[in-house]
Chains A and B, each alone.
Chain A
Amino acid sequence: MASDPQSAANQRIVEDLVSRLRRRQLVGSRATALETLLVLRQVVSKARFSNIDQLVNIIRSVGRRLVDAQPKEHSVGNTVRKVLHHIREEYHTANEQPAVESSFSIAKFVLQGQPRKQATIPSSETRVPLKENDPDDPDSFARVLKPVLMEAIQDVFDELETVYDNISKNAKDHIHSDEIILTLGMSKTVDFFLKAAAHYRNYTVIVAETAPFYGGREMAKSLSSAGISTFLVPDSSIYALMSRVNKVILGAHAILANGGMFATSGSLLAATAARSYSTPVVVCAGQFKLTPLWNLYHEYGALDFGDPSAVLGFDEGDLVDKVDVVNPYYDYVRPELLDVFITNYGDHPPSSIYRLLKETYDDEDNEL
């Protein structure tokens, strides 16, 4: 940050977000993605640059700062990568060099002709020739490019805004009448998805309460208030009920490059149980959760542990000294246990996630 000739205000909003991320005052992948985008928009609008590399460096350094602040909120890094990708794309089109768009797109392939949202850039614009590193007017480059960049960021923004609707628009193709669906935890995406399907289908949802955070209770309340027949069950009965379940629908915290995912703790239990009954496991997740990372550290956990107080009260005096509590937020679910990801970019099997990643982000940004 120090190397950037930016205004103090710019630095302050970055610091503000950094501290909120560090203090976990801002949690949740979509919320963090939105906040990150707001900061990036501020930064880009204030930034002074005279060529594309400077701009990319500015964004990267801000991104690095944010990611370092909270490496466990993967959507921060994803958003930064996505913005970088779009900026490069805009730069290439503005420069009249058609972006190196491969003719084969996995998204198009799976969706069979459904046009990719960001794929075509309106070509009707009258272009002003871009001049990089103009010694007479160093700001000219920025002046020309900025409106386009802001538009690109706005696109990412719109995409985030509409992510739930886009995911749930195919809900009725996945859920059929009289099915029994199992889900767990509180996931906004799954919530929207199930409610969208309820317009067309009449089905039953079993929600595991997902101790110790009990997001499942919230979820069950929300679903039943939408008129869906809902059962709230303890986590321990997931396996016992699995024989009757037609489909497991889970939310994700992050989709990893190998097609596995981080999801709220308990997901691994549900996915494993589903595997032994060959019940399909469907994951609903926005595209901003695609993360070019692998789970290197733990076989089962996501290296993100909360405080023990949800499990063991601090007032338990004597026990606190003698008991070590491990309270992970997220499980790591291996790709073999998952059947399909439903994203706002269409439905994909775990095995083709790597391809989707390659199209969404630029390779050079994988390491910010």
Chain B
Amino acid sequence: MNMWPWTTSSQRTCFLFLLLSLMAPKSNAGKENLLADEAEVLQAVILADSFNKRFRPLTTRKPRCLLPICNAPLLDWTFESLALAGVQEIFVICRSHPEQIKAKIAESRWSKTGSGIKIVPILTAKETFSPGDAMRDIYTRGLVTGDFVLVMGDLVSNIRIDEVVKVHKERRKTNKDAIMTMVVKESGANHRTRSKADYAVFGLDSETFECLHYEPVMGYPPSTVASIPREILSAHPDIEIRNDFIDCAIDICSVEVPSLFQDNFDYLDIRRDFVHGVLTSDLLMKNIYCYVAKEGYAARVQDTKSYESISKDILSRWTFPLVPDNNHPAGHLYEHRRGNKYIDKDGTVILARTSTVGNKCLIGSSTKVSDNAQIISSVVGQNCFIGEGAIIDNSYIFDGTTVGPGCVIERSIIGFDVNIKENTRIDKGSLVGDDVIIGPNAHLEAFGRLSKKRGIDAVDDEDEEDEDDYADSEEEEVEAAQGTTTVNLGSESNAILWPQSAPDEDENDENVENAKNQRFMRLGDNASDLAFSDAGSESSDEESESSDDDSDFDKRLELPTSSSTSLDVPDGSSTDAIAESEFRNEVRLSLERAFTEGHSVDNAAVELKTLRMASNVPLSRVREAVVSAIVERIQIIDGGGVPQRQEIAHVVSRWGPLINKIGGVDPVETIAALQTHCASSKRLLLFGQILAALYQDDVVEESDIRKWHRSLASQSLGLSPGVRTDNMRKCWEIGSRMIQQFDEQDDSEDESQEDGGDAGNSKDGNEQDEDEDEDEDEDENSSSEDIENSSGED
């Protein structure tokens, strides 16, 4: 304990004083360093890969997070969003084109001293194909040490994430199972920034904002039903079902989250798999909460459509203070003019006197706009040239592009250093990749996608060869497809046109990336032929032709678009019934095999367990199936008597133990199953004998029989009268007689039973205290055969 054993205590005090006085100015100086002073470092993880190809061909040679939006790379917007929240350490998980991301980070202002933020690029394997894989990578690397902020690399936000973190931490203090808080923003169902292709219905607890239900919805195939599990409704009296949220993809995660991904290797998407999995799992017992942001703005550039709407949101200042004239992430200075026009401040922009720059425009430095050119609601990058009389309408033009005289560009995204020669027309929804030359006098049809032909200047590409094999292979594919399509791209063009819709054949409609769903993500495509957003416009021919293969979606109601949310709880019994009858059949077959081939009881039990897992049915069903199979195995011997009894004893002693080996012991249920089966089978008369045989083989105990006898179901109370009910009743009566015998037996121990023989000796076996499971699983639809209504033989 004594740190300075050579000093006396008074000396030590002096020493301490000295130390303190030495430290004092230091802590004072620390004040300058406001950020570093905070007790806990707030970490953030950016998944800087989109894991999809919606921006192709713009993203063949550069990652999506480096695409500029309003002349600043998306990644910078994301950094700024996080810096606004006081995040101090950021891990950027990059997969494709990591060198570019690394270089970008290194040259950005964030890596300068004084930024107060430490940014660490993490290169993950090429095999990382989903956010889930990235999360597993985060886990294996052990990057995060505490609660962290998880965002995508395409986030534009001014939400005070630190507030959300505070709420999350507060909640964690009382509830350790609250592993994640998702930030959502109210927007109304028809907001331009809300994706029509990929959104979700949230079920929230109105008080605690716990997320109880998450149901992803796609634009295509359209689903009009959200099914809320009944348990949620019963457990939470006050539920909000919201269909008006923008999912900002900002998650405050606890350290457990990456490890959960590690444990569940099949989680791919954070929302569709992880959130859904956690919410529906009975085993994990974890909670996920939502934070409904009242103030602030947050959205993801997840497709070309949201690229457009977020650009517009930025230009109309929804992201304030993150606007071009105030806090431009790339550090450009823009002058804000009336009508939300932003012109670079350094005075290098040349606007011809007769040119028109409309409202909501952004023009980067050193750009020249020639006479009579019109720019309407567009973003023009730096060092661009807009020729005489060109019209740029709602388009996004990256740096260094030249637009020749007389060109018309409509609702398109034009990449870096593109040269569009004179009188070219580019229709809406087009994407033109970097370095493309089009024209002159070319016409690119709507939704055309162009990229530069490879090999024209292979010299340029040399340095990228190794990194871009992936992109190249894709481009090769595209080039291979060229032969058939001949489009007029102009005499000087170096471009290739991408085929209209991506390979379709093996596509699965369940996937978010299915071709039709992608149309909802496409810039300029209102997908009106697919849309169902207008009330009444139900389905189109395209839908109906494909509706055969997705039977889940055939129940099609109108999906509400506003707050008047009315979602039905669908009735899932029909599909269940099918699955169950299939299962029964399987069990019957497998038992038959076991019977005829003489399997051991253990082997048969294993087989049954596997079957049960595969078809996901409750244990009671298996028991019923097994009991009925065994009963059916017993042959009815005419005349009854001793041969019949022997037959029963034989079968039951051979197969009876199987009943308790299928994965749970519940003799009461066994008896109930037996009763139910016998009541609707020819072997009604054998009930008493079978029961006795089971009793003899210790499959059931006396107490179980009593318990069964007491239960309401066994007395067939509350069932509609009918033959079957009568039979049930008869079985019960047999049971009563048996119990009478037990009682008598109790009185006089040695009295033998006429039915059960000398079974009395085993009754004192340790009574298992089973949960009284009064599962009334009578199959109502089983047609009751008309059987002879003779009473059980005694």
Chain A interface residues (CB < 8 Å from chain B):
8-9, 11-16, 19, 22-25, 42, 68, 70, 72, 297-298, 301, 303, 305-309, 314-318, 320-321, 324-327
Contacts and interface: CB of A to CB of B under 8 A. Distances in A.
A308 B326 contact: no
A309 B323 CA distance: 14
Contacts of A317: 187-191, 194, 244
B321 A24 contact: yes
Given A307-B320, A315-B186, A317-B191, A11 B336 contact: no
Nearest to A10: B32
A10 to B, nearest CB: 8
B185 A324 contact: no
Contact of B114 (A14, A318, A320): A14
Interface residues of B, number: 46
B327 A68 contact: no
Nearest to B34: A16
B192 A316 contact: no
B114 A308 contact: no
5 contacts: A16-B116, A24-B321, A305-B320, A317-B244, A321-B312
Contacts of B339: 324
Given A68-B333, A298-B338, A303-B336, A15 B114 contact: yes
B297 A306 contact: no
B30 to A, nearest CB: 10
A296 to B, nearest CB: 11
Contacts of A308: 316-318
A9 B83 CA distance: 19
B32 A42 contact: yes
Interface in B322-380: 322-323, 326-327, 333, 336-340, 359-360
B577 interface: no
A11 B113 contact: yes
A24 B115 CA distance: 16
Nearest to B83: A19
B84 interface: yes
A13 B32 contact: yes
Chain B interface mostly: loop
B189 A306 contact: no
B185 A12 contact: no
A293 B115 CA distance: 31
B108 interface: no
A24 B188 contact: no
B295 interface: yes
Name the 7 nearest CB pairs between A and B, nearest first.
Answer: A317-B188, A307-B320, A15-B114, A24-B321, A12-B114, A22-B327, A317-B191
Contact of A12 (B116, B191, B297): B116
A68 B34 CA distance: 22
B319 interface: yes
Given A24-B327, A301-B338, A321-B309, 19 more contacts: A9-B32, A11-B114, A15-B112, A16-B34, A16-B35, A16-B114, A16-B116, A19-B83, A23-B83, A23-B322, A297-B337, A306-B317, A314-B187, A314-B191, A315-B188, A317-B194, A317-B244, A324-B316, A324-B360
B246 to A, nearest CB: 9
Interface in B471-503: none
Interface of B: 29, 32-35, 83-84, 112-116, 185-194, 244, 295, 297, 309, 312-313, 316-323, 326-327, 333, 336-340, 359-360
Given A314-B186, A317-B187, A317-B190, A12 B33 contact: yes
Contacts of A11: 113-114
Nearest to B329: A22
A175 to B, nearest CB: 37
Nearest to A306: B320
Contacts of A14: 114
Nearest to B31: A13
Given A22-B327, A317-B190, A307 B333 contact: no
A326 B320 CA distance: 12
Contacts of B340: 305, 324, 326
Contacts of B194: 317
Contacts of A303: 336
A170 B530 CA distance: 72
Contacts of B190: 317-318
A171 B306 CA distance: 55
A22 B321 CA distance: 8
B319 A307 contact: yes
A68 to B, nearest CB: 7
Interface centre among A25, A316, A324 (most CB of B within 10 A): A324
A8 B327 contact: no
Contacts of A9: 29, 32-33
A23 B186 CA distance: 23
B563 to A, nearest CB: 10
B32 A24 contact: no
Contacts of B114: 8, 11-12, 14-16
A16 B36 CA distance: 11
A297 B339 CA distance: 13
A309 to B, nearest CB: 7
A343 B340 CA distance: 35
A14 B113 CA distance: 11
Contacts of A15: 112-116
A85 B34 CA distance: 30
